[in-house]
Chain A
Amino acid sequence: MFYQESGQFSTRYRQDGRALRLWQQRAALWALLLLAFGLLPFIGNDYWFSAILIPFLVLSLAGLGLNLLTGYAGQLSLGSAAFMAVGAFASYKLQFLLPGLPLLLSFVAGGVVAAAVGVVFGLPSLRIKGFYLLVSTLAAQFFVEWLLTKFAWFSNGNESGVITAPPLLVAGHDFGSPAGRYLLTLSVVLPLFVLAANLVRSSLGRNWMAVRDMDTAAAVIGIPILRTKLLAFAISSFILGVAGSLWAFTYLGTVEPHGFDLSRSFQVLFIIILGGMGSILGNFLGAAFIVLLPIVLSILSGTLLSGVLPAGQLENLQKIIFGVLIILFLIKEPDGLARLWQGWRARARLWPLRF
Chain B
Amino acid sequence: MSETVAPLLSLSHISLSFKGVKAVTDIGFDVAEGEICALIGPNGAGKSSLLNVINGVYQPQQGEIRFAGRARRAMQPHEAAVAGIARTFQNIALFKGMSVLDNILTGRNLASRSSWLEQAFRVGRAVADEEAQRAVAEEVIAFLRLQAWRHTPVGQLPYGLQKRVELGRALAARPRLLLLDEPMAGMNREEKREMSQFIREVNQVFGTTIVLIEHDIGVVMELSDHVVVLDYGRKIGDGEPEAVRALPEVIAAYLGQQRH
Contact = CB atoms under 8 A, between A and B. Distances in A.
B147 A221 contact: no
A203 interface: yes
B3 interface: no
A206 B143 contact: no
A295 interface: no
Contacts of B133: 203
A267 B142 CA distance: 45
A222 B94 CA distance: 14
A37 to B, nearest CB: 21
Interface stretch (A103-111, A211-219, A282-290, A320-328): A211-219
Given A13-B131, A199-B119, A206-B109, A219 B78 contact: yes
A224 interface: yes
A170 B64 CA distance: 64
Contacts of B78: 219, 222, 224
Nearest to A217: B93
Most chain B beta-carbon contacts within 10 A, residue among A9, A202, A203, A213: A203
Contacts of A10: 131
A256 to B, nearest CB: 32
A219 B80 CA distance: 10
A235 to B, nearest CB: 8
B62 interface: no
B55 interface: yes
A13 B139 CA distance: 13
A219 B106 CA distance: 11
Contacts of A14: 127, 131
A48 B37 CA distance: 70
Contacts of A217: 89, 93-95
A28 interface: no
Interface in B74-117: 77-78, 80-82, 86-87, 89, 93-98, 102, 105-110, 112, 114, 116
A195 interface: yes
Most chain A beta-carbon contacts within 10 A, residue among B95, B108, B114: B95
B142 A209 contact: no
A210 interface: yes
B97 A222 contact: no
Interface residues of B, number: 47
A198 interface: yes
A224 B126 CA distance: 19
A222 B126 contact: no
Contacts of B21: none
A222 B55 contact: no
Contacts of B106: 206-207, 210, 218, 221, 223
A221 B173 contact: yes
A3 B147 contact: yes
Contacts of A1: 139, 142-143
A203 B130 contact: yes
A161 interface: no
B192 interface: no
A212 B97 CA distance: 9
A10 to B, nearest CB: 6
A231 to B, nearest CB: 6
B164 interface: no
Contacts of A55: none
B72 to A, nearest CB: 16
Contacts of A204: 116, 119
B169 interface: yes
Nearest to A197: B120
A14 B81 CA distance: 28
Task: Sort A-B residue pairs by CB-CB distance and give the 10 closest, nearest first.
Answer: A222-B81, A202-B119, A213-B95, A217-B93, A219-B77, A13-B134, A204-B116, A203-B112, A222-B110, A195-B120
30 contacts: A3-B147, A9-B134, A13-B135, A13-B138, A14-B127, A14-B131, A198-B119, A202-B130, A203-B105, A203-B114, A203-B119, A204-B116, A206-B102, A206-B105, A207-B106, A207-B109, A209-B102, A210-B98, A210-B109, A213-B94, A213-B97, A214-B94, A214-B96, A216-B57, A216-B77, A221-B107, A221-B173, A222-B81, A231-B116, A235-B116
Interface of B: 55-57, 77-78, 80-82, 86-87, 89, 93-98, 102, 105-110, 112, 114, 116, 119-122, 126-127, 130-131, 133-135, 138-139, 142-143, 145, 147, 169-170, 173
